[in-house]
Amino acid sequence: MTFPDYEAVGFKEILVKLEGAVVTVTLNRPEQFNTFSIVLSEEIVQAFELFDKDDRVRVVILTAEPTAPAFCAGANITGGWSNLWSPEVEKQGHRAHRDRGGRVSLAIYHCRKITIAAVNGHAAGVGVTGLQLPFDFRFAWQGAKITFPFVRRGIAAEAVSSYLLPQLIGHSRATSLLLSGSTVNPTSHLISSLYHQILPTKEEVYPAAKTFANELAETTSQTGVAYTKALLRHPGESIEENQLRGSWVFSAMTHEGDANEGAQSFMQKRKPKFKDTLSSTKTPWTPWWRLVDLKAKL
Amino acid sequence: MTFPDYEAVGFKEILVKLEGAVVTVTLNRPEQFNTFSIVLSEEIVQAFELFDKDDRVRVVILTAEPTAPAFCAGANITGGWSNLWSPEVEKQGHRAHRDRGGRVSLAIYHCRKITIAAVNGHAAGVGVTGLQLPFDFRFAWQGAKITFPFVRRGIAAEAVSSYLLPQLIGHSRATSLLLSGSTVNPTSHLISSLYHQILPTKEEVYPAAKTFANELAETTSQTGVAYTKALLRHPGESIEENQLRGSWVFSAMTHEGDANEGAQSFMQKRKPKFKDTLSSTKTPWTPWWRLVDLKAKL
Amino acid sequence: MTFPDYEAVGFKEILVKLEGAVVTVTLNRPEQFNTFSIVLSEEIVQAFELFDKDDRVRVVILTAEPTAPAFCAGANITGGWSNLWSPEVEKQGHRAHRDRGGRVSLAIYHCRKITIAAVNGHAAGVGVTGLQLPFDFRFAWQGAKITFPFVRRGIAAEAVSSYLLPQLIGHSRATSLLLSGSTVNPTSHLISSLYHQILPTKEEVYPAAKTFANELAETTSQTGVAYTKALLRHPGESIEENQLRGSWVFSAMTHEGDANEGAQSFMQKRKPKFKDTLSSTKTPWTPWWRLVDLKAKL
């Protein structure tokens, strides 16, 4: 199987760089405060769908240039909301609409690799909901201004944030943030549990995330990660169903090369060299949950 | 549409005062430690059902006079538990019972406006479960004694607290509080994440809540708030269903006056003047969840 | 009804001691770092199934000798993973496997008494997932090294941890812990909300847990505890269903002896003397949830 040359894909509003097993996506619209354009959203979806299938990739980082005035200032609503619609959907009505922020969230959320948001600047709206919540880990600059402004813009929480935010930090904090529209720093008691690590300066955020990513790329199993993510997101409707799903995964995986290498390297007190990949493993990717097709019939 | 004159409704155990778009409910049984009587519970249900439909109301605060000896000391069980039953239900059996605390919780929880509990005194039992958990925001005095005493009174957690408390602060903390029956202060690590803000003195609690309420009343969209609450409480059974519900809401709302005003006021760096109301908006209130009738057949 | 003499059961790898209404289980494989053997797992399942039905027992504590080098070092994988399989299951395939860690978790989780893990040493793998997460309360030594190492061993999160950990502390923290495989102390912001109390020394952990257990054994109702646990674990699919289940429980329990004693002792400002037991109470144990049989057809 051959994998893409990311430099040759022709991305316009993001930069994508693969180093070893870690790929870094840099938002590349600094003059527009990295606002969330149609092109940007489509490129992020495309990139994460590629990473999901690229066996070389173990960890993905999303960040912005630390010199940009914001990590992502949200959607650009200088012309009102109409620039968010495609003409086809406008003709079909509300039921055919698929929120662009949500499409980005889902592409990141469905990526089976470890994902890290390195939030090295201010973030508003979809810059939090779409570009932070669906990640596995969030690193942030302690001075970043974080805002969920929806109720102050006359709309409701978007980009599947009403699903993800309460799951991540509980309904008490999620409700405080989404219904107040207040601006907070990552160290605020309202939001701190969203972040894996909070750094004193903008400049430290990406390096800290990269060091962590490199460590995870060297020490974690690609299949172990993918199935742990699957179990976390689809735990089953009861603890008993979780035991059934988890037991099947456990039995299948412990017969594989990575589990053997995991046990051996542990006993030999050395770093593991995991070789199983999502396309090579004998444990087939077998979703036990209902797959939902979100395409609208136009 | 005309709305009620709250001073003329004739409430006996609560005081209701509308100032601008903020309505304040004050528990008015100080000599009984604001215990939870049948009349009190029915008046709270009636009041929150009115607020839900009253387009003038954007934010509701519940509080007690700071001179009262408690915010709410819970149910009055000096005569045992029998005063909690109606004779009809007693005849019909356990299946016909509808917990009064739970009825209050549900009325508050179903109110589509922003709700704030200003806990300026001690609170026990239903004074926490019914009069704090269903609110969107909780402000508290740091010296308040907070107790979930159920297992120490020979009963189980009531007033839908077994549903709400784990959702709000996670099962680890919820289990600690409900199974120990211990008394804690709002600053305790076991409960602090329940509170939006904790104040040093009783006297500061309501003013802090009122200032916050005034700000939200001026800056938030009534329909944006209502649909954000709906999405938080009914996120769908999967992230994909959330994307479908949220996209419909997003598409409908961005075609409305409040979204237009939200974008314009943001660009013009001025406060918004939101005019859409739940009865006037073109985005109809369209619940996508199963509505459950809780009336017992007697 | 007669109850077992725990000293006479013949446990080999655990010690079981009943004092008053508190039973203490001590892991008894100090020379093997209390690793999780087949015998150990079966004895824990057997013990918790007995405690569930033993009316004398109100609180269960699990701990290790503080002189042991670890609370539980996880599964013993010195011989690879094959020692975790039974020959029958190996013949039947992955679908017939039932994860041993999950079986232990479920036995503890289903025990209707108050359960406390007194973590007085390091814990890895199933020493956290199986021997901490299913408990109601966790006490820990602040110096304990806590690790979820699965992705670093080439496998996925086991022992129903993908179900329990996000419920207990939220998905943000659970994902950080399970996908990084990092080692943390109980005071780490990533895991501290898992613990009811964190103690400075190993030696203080069990005594603190025991004092707490004694207090709960004296002051809590066995039936109140059992139904509160049932409501927390099976809250219903909506808040309305929770109101129906909770109202039935409330109505049934308030007609019982323990509720009467709870009200009377409260009014008389004395400790309660609760006498109802799970086998004697008139409130029958009536599960409203779907019971799932996990036995594999071999």
C-alpha to C-alpha distance for B118 and B204, rounded to whole angstroms: 10
pLDDT in tens, B234-243: 999 999 999 9
The pLDDT value given to residue B261: 97
The pLDDT value given to residue B86: 75
> Measured between beta carbons, which residues in chain C are less than 8 angstroms from residue B292?
238, 240-241
The pLDDT value given to residue A119: 98
Statement to judge: residues C63 and C168 lie in one domain: yes
Question: Which of B167, B224, B272 has its CB closest to that of A156?
Answer: B224
For residue C271, the domain's CATH number is: 1.10.12.10
Short-list B4, B9, B10, B114, CA closest to B62: B114
pLDDT in tens, C22-40: 999 999 999 999 999 999 9
B-contacting chains (≥3 CB pairs under 8 Å): A, C
The pLDDT value given to residue C18: 98
Q: Does A257 touch chain C (CB under 8 A)?
A: yes
Q: By CA distance, what is C98's nearest residue in A? A: A247
Question: Which of B80, B84, B180 has its CB closest to that of C216?
Answer: B180
Statement to judge: residues B196 and B291 lie in one domain: no
The pLDDT value given to residue A275: 97
Q: Identify the sign of the CA torsion B26, B32, B34, B39.
A: negative
The pLDDT value given to residue A286: 86
pLDDT band at C146 (very low <50, low <70, confident <90, very high): very high
Short-list B246, C138, C155, CA closest to A223: C155
The pLDDT value given to residue A255: 92
Question: Within a domain: residue A1?
Answer: no
Contact B228 A152 (CB under 8 A): no
Say yes or no to pLDDT of C200 above 90: yes
Q: Looking at the 3D structure of chain A, how many domains does it have?
A: 2
Statement to judge: residues B213 and B283 lie in one domain: no
Is A109 within 8 Å of A232 (Cβ atoms)?
no
The pLDDT value given to residue B26: 98
pLDDT in tens, C99-108: 999 999 999 9
Statement to judge: residues C180 and C37 lie in one domain: yes
- B58 CB-side CA count, 13 A: 27
Higher pLDDT, C285 or C224: C224
pLDDT band at B87 (very low <50, low <70, confident <90, very high): confident
The pLDDT value given to residue A218: 98
pLDDT band at A64 (very low <50, low <70, confident <90, very high): very high
Statement to judge: residues B51 and B193 lie in one domain: yes
Nearest 5°: CA angle at C170, between A26 and A232?
75
End-to-end CA distance of chain A: 35
Statement to judge: residues C52 and C144 lie in one domain: yes
C-alpha to C-alpha distance for C71 and C48, rounded to whole angstroms: 18
Short-list B31, B7, B36, CA closest to B19: B7
Say yes or no to pLDDT of C296 above 90: no
Mean residue pLDDT of chain A comes to 95
Q: Does A142 touch chain C (CB under 8 A)?
A: no
Averaged pLDDT for residues B155-159: 97
Chain A interface test: which of C129, C135, C155, C189 (most A C-beta within 10 Å)? C155
Question: Which of C78, C156, C163 has its CB closest to that of A250?
Answer: C156
Averaged pLDDT for residues B105-110: 98
Instruction: Give the domain-ending residue among B195, B218, B241.
Output: B218
Q: Does A268 touch chain C (CB under 8 A)?
A: no
Short-list B174, C104, C235, CA closest to A238: C235
Q: Does A244 touch chain C (CB under 8 A)?
A: yes
Averaged pLDDT for residues B195-202: 98
C143 CB burial (10 A radius; 0-12, 13-18, 19+): middle
Statement to judge: residues A126 and A179 lie in one domain: yes
Instruction: Give the domain-ending residue among A172, A187, A218.
Output: A218
Q: Does C98 touch chain A (CB under 8 A)?
A: yes
Averaged pLDDT for residues B177-206: 98
Shortest distance, CA A201 to any CA of chain B (angstroms): 27
pLDDT band at A86 (very low <50, low <70, confident <90, very high): confident
Short-list C158, C171, C154, C100, CA closest to C124: C158
C42 CB burial (10 A radius; 0-12, 13-18, 19+): middle
Q: Which domain holds residue C18?
A: 6-218
Is B219 within 8 Å of A181 (Cβ atoms)?
yes
Statement to judge: residues C24 and C102 lie in one domain: yes
pLDDT in tens, A123-160: 999 999 999 999 999 999 999 999 999 999 999 999 99
Instruction: Give the domain-ending residue among A160, A189, A218.
Output: A218
Question: Within a domain: residue A84?
Answer: yes
Question: Within a domain: residue A36?
Answer: yes
> Measured between beta carbons, which residues in chain B are less than 8 angstroms from residue C262?
152-155
> Measured between beta carbons, which residues in chain C are less than 8 angstroms from residue A244?
294
The pLDDT value given to residue B240: 97
Statement to judge: residues A147 and A261 lie in one domain: no
pLDDT in tens, C58-89: 999 999 999 999 999 999 888 888 877 778 77
The pLDDT value given to residue A82: 80
DSSP string, A219-265: HS-HHHHHHHHHHHH---SSHHHHHHHHHHHHHHHTTSHHHHHHHHH
pLDDT band at A84 (very low <50, low <70, confident <90, very high): confident
Averaged pLDDT for residues B42-70: 97
Statement to judge: residues C141 and C207 lie in one domain: yes
Averaged pLDDT for residues C180-203: 98
Higher pLDDT, C86 or C232: C232
Outline where chain A has alpha helix (H). Answer: 38-53, 87-92, 100-110, 126-129, 161-169, 171-180, 202-219, 222-233, 239-253, 257-267
The pLDDT value given to residue B191: 98
The pLDDT value given to residue C83: 74
pLDDT in tens, B26-43: 999 999 999 999 999 999
Say yes or no to pLDDT of B223 above 90: yes
pLDDT in tens, B108-145: 999 999 999 999 999 999 999 999 999 999 999 999 99
Statement to judge: residues A124 and A237 lie in one domain: no
pLDDT band at A75 (very low <50, low <70, confident <90, very high): very high
Statement to judge: residues C24 and C165 lie in one domain: yes
Say yes or no to pLDDT of B83 above 80: no
Contact C156 A227 (CB under 8 A): yes
DSSP A61: E
The pLDDT value given to residue B259: 96
Say yes or no to pLDDT of B16 above 90: yes
For residue C185, the domain's CATH number is: 3.90.226.10
C-alpha to C-alpha distance for C203 and C51, rounded to whole angstroms: 26
> Measured between beta carbons, which residues in chain C are less than 8 angstroms from residue A224?
150-156
The pLDDT value given to residue C240: 97
C-alpha to C-alpha distance for C251 and C249, rounded to whole angstroms: 6
Say yes or no to pLDDT of B297 above 80: no
